[in-house]
Structure 1
Amino acid sequence: MNSLLFLMLLAIIVWFWQANLRYREYAVRQCKKICHEMNLQLLDQTVALTSLKFRKDQNRKIKTLRRYSFEISMDGANRCRGYIILLGLNIIHTEFDLPDGPVILQKKDLITYH
């Protein structure tokens, strides 16, 4: 009985870990595309998960709300921080902390790539 419970728990952990990897890869692809459109460089070609919560979407379905941070550059020399927030696979917020001030893109301003 304990072995079965342990295996089920292990399977859930592995599934959750794999799902997080897929969402992270998706976030990297989206950041690359958005940075390309805005003539910014995505530095280190990576994102870091900074927050994970559960929220309801428009259809009242519970989805994961993930916030990733990343670093960008306008000229290749100066590093600035950026953030992307995903609700499931939908980008709901992107923010760039640029030297001239923050640039915030809400869901209505973004083109969603799948």
Structure 2
Amino acid sequence: MSVARTIVLAHHPVGGGRSSLAPERARPGQGGAARRVPVGATLRYLAPAMEFLAILIVVAVGFFWHFQMRAREQCLDLARHVCDEMGVELLDDTVWLNHMSLRRDREEHLRIRRIYEFQYLDPLREIHPGLVILLGREVESVVTAGEGTLH
């Protein structure tokens, strides 16, 4: 006499104290209470959740990229304005991200702190560095080689 030792998933009523997907041994003569479920079947239940998670990640990356580009444009406009005020030329008309970290603002809210770097030419055609520091959307400071902190 041999007893089948197959793992099956039994259907138990909700609140019956056992999980509805509890493994059981198949017994000879057992009615339709137990059924075999292939491993791939559980993946079908997870597929919609995984698709939703993938979409959320893509949307989050898109929003992050959008806000990064807005911050870069804000820094570029500010660097142009500072260079015009100083009577110097913004080199290559560009800024680049030097450093990014998380910091708290005055109200203790967590914000992204970005440090953008730029270069400018003075009237003697010498190249000097400059920095624009953002905390969230607010300008924390603008630093140039000759003047120090401007804002």
Please tell me the TM-score bracket, short chain as reference.
0.7 to 0.9
Deviation of 1:76 (Å):
7.0
Equivalences, count: 103
Between Structure 1 and Structure 2, whose CA radius of gyration is higher?
Answer: 2
The TM-score with structure 1 as length reference comes to 0.82
Other-structure match for 1:36: 84
Counterpart of 1:23 (choices 55, 71, 74) is 71
Segments of 4+ moved more than 3 angstroms: none
Other-structure match for 2:100: 52
2:134 equivalent to 1:86: yes
List per-residue Cα deviations over 1:41-96 (Å, max 9, x = no partner): 11111100011111111111111110001110112732221111111222222222
Percent of aligned positions with the same letter in both sequences?
24
Structure 1: where are the runs of 5+ without partners?
Answer: none
Answer 1 or 2: which has greater strand percent.
Answer: 1
Where relative contact order (Cα < 8 A, 6+ residues apart) is larger, the structure is 1
Matches of 1:104 and 1:97, distance apart in 2: 6
2:54 equivalent to 1:6: yes
Other-structure match for 1:65: 113
Matches of 1:50 and 1:41, distance apart in 2: 20
Matches of 2:55 and 2:78, distance apart in 1: 35
The TM-score with structure 2 as length reference comes to 0.63
Q: What SS class does the counterpart of residue 55 from structure 1 fall into?
A: strand
- Letter of the 1:104 partner, please give it: G
Matches of 1:21 and 1:14, distance apart in 2: 11
Residues 41 and 76 in structure 1, CA contact (< 8 A), matched pair in contact too? no
Q: What SS class does the counterpart of residue 69 from structure 1 fall into?
A: strand
